[in-house]
Structure 1
Amino acid sequence: MGIRLIKISVIYFMIGVLFGLYMSMTHDYSFTPVHVHINLLGWTSLTLAGIIYHLFPSVSATRLAKAHFWLHNIGLSLMMIGLIILISGSEGVVPVIAAGGLLTTLAVLLFGYNVLTKLKAE
């Protein structure tokens, strides 16, 4: 699970950097919220979760870890695609952003619960 999260976090990092490059080349910074969220919730948070899961296999070998992985990635993808569409001018996508945000938040809460209950000194 740890390696899987680290690998997918690198994909988010590349996407985030590409958004940053696009914005700096075009001088259009309207996608800054997408850039920031992909880098924070995708690259940074998932890298740290991956390191924790890698260092503490007892935390990664749970159904909570699997739920965290899937909910986080589905939620973040929905939220970011929705945010791109919203910034591009379609306000009908707000419920998609909200759903993605709720899934991502639930994933983070599951991760926190998993670490707080399963991580023990060995």
Structure 2
Amino acid sequence: MRGISKAFFGLALVCAIVGMAWGIQMSASGDHLLSPAHAHLNLIGYVGFAIFGIYYHLVPSAAEKMIAKIHLAIAVVGVVLMVPGIVMAIRETSETLAKLGSIAAIASMLLFAWIFITSSRET
């Protein structure tokens, strides 16, 4: 595994470790208020990034294109904005980051759909 595939998978592992540690902290404290942010970190960060990484590993022609690098950047921006944005929304300080992160996350998924569709035609 290398390139975009390795980057996505490495980031998936970081999200999983941080998400698990956060879950343990919530359990130990008995305070589960921020569980929606924790869930998004695990689902979009860990699961989503791992799926992207596996796809790019299995379809190297898609991984070699510039659009895959753009996909990585948008996906990272989505998680980096969304997770703290959800924390801020729960704490009722602002919903702006959550909204921006959500837009980036769906843009990332739409871009991935485009990559999948166009790469499927090549094979």
* TM-score, structure 2 as length reference: 0.91
Alpha-carbon contact 1:58-1:118 (below 8 Å) kept: yes
Alpha-carbon contact 2:12-2:50 (below 8 Å) kept: yes
Separation in 2 of the partners of 1:31 and 1:106? 24
**What's the offset of the Cα at 1:86?**
2.4
| Consecutive unaligned residues in structure 2, runs of 5 or more | none
**What's the offset of the Cα at 1:89?**
3.7
CA deviation digits over 1:49-93, x for unaligned, max 9? 101101111111112211110001111111111112222341xx2
Partner of 1:13: 16
- The answer on 1:99 being equivalent to 2:76 is no
Partner of 1:110: 111
Equivalent of residue 64 in structure 1, options 62, 67, 82: 67
**What's the offset of the Cα at 1:35?**
1.2
Partner of 2:50: 47
How many corresponding residue pairs?
Answer: 120
> SS state of the match for residue 30, structure 1?
coil
Partner of 1:36: 39
**What's the offset of the Cα at 1:121?**
6.8
Separation in 1 of the partners of 2:42 and 2:6? 18
- The answer on 1:79 being equivalent to 2:82 is yes
CA deviation digits over 1:76-116, x for unaligned, max 9? 111111112222341xx212211111011101110111011
Alpha-carbon contact 2:82-2:98 (below 8 Å) kept: yes
- Runs of 4 or more, structure 1, over 4 Å off, are none
- Structure 1 counterpart of 2:53, one-letter code: G
Identity across matched positions, percent: 26
